[in-house]
Amino acid sequence: MEKNISETIGCDLGDKTSAVCVLGADGRIKQQTSLTTTRRAMLEFFARDKAHVVIEVGAHSRWVSQLLTNAGHRVTVANPRRVPLISANNNKTDSHDAELLARLGRADAESGQSRARDSQKHRRADTRMHDRELRAQDVGEGSGTAQAGPAADLRVPPPNRRAESNRDASQSSTPCGSRERAP
């Protein structure tokens, strides 16, 4: 695990309440609780040392992820469709899901791979693809001739190269099948 992170926290977000499971550095459960899914309750509970927090993608994941990242935590948003351990689980309770998320986050942190770097690569690749598409639209508009200036010097890769770069980016996701936000 990272040097400054001693806890991994799984948080199963619900509309009214969220189940939380805190694992210590040794992998043992330190705390299991539930809290209301409000900004105030989240800030109070997560006013602690830097932790790796794993949440499931959903209605509240965006604002909670941003809130916890701003509070200095390492946040991973897991996609349950890409993690059968979560979606195909027969024991679907909020507290059990919170524990699974924490254990997945702990395994992810121990894998030794830099998820923040992978996430940054994804964002840069997404930005480059978006820029290329915009430039292609600029070049294709009007009289059918390329415009003078910096955009005229850029070439958009053929569609098969675009598909390869998307496939390469999707294959470098985390073991949680997720994207991560680093503080």
What residue ranges do the domains of the chain occupy? Answer: 8-113, 116-174
For residue 125, the model assigns a pLDDT of 59
Pairing relationship of beta strands 52-56 and 74-78 according to DSSP bridges: parallel
Q: 33: helix, coil or strand?
A: strand
| Of 125 and 106, the one with more pLDDT | 106
pLDDT, tens digit (0-9, with 9 covering 90-100), for 96-121: 889 999 998 888 666 544 444 455 55
pLDDT, tens digit (0-9, with 9 covering 90-100), for 137-157: 665 554 444 444 444 444 445
Could you confirm whether domain 8-113 is CATH 3.40.50.720?
Answer: no
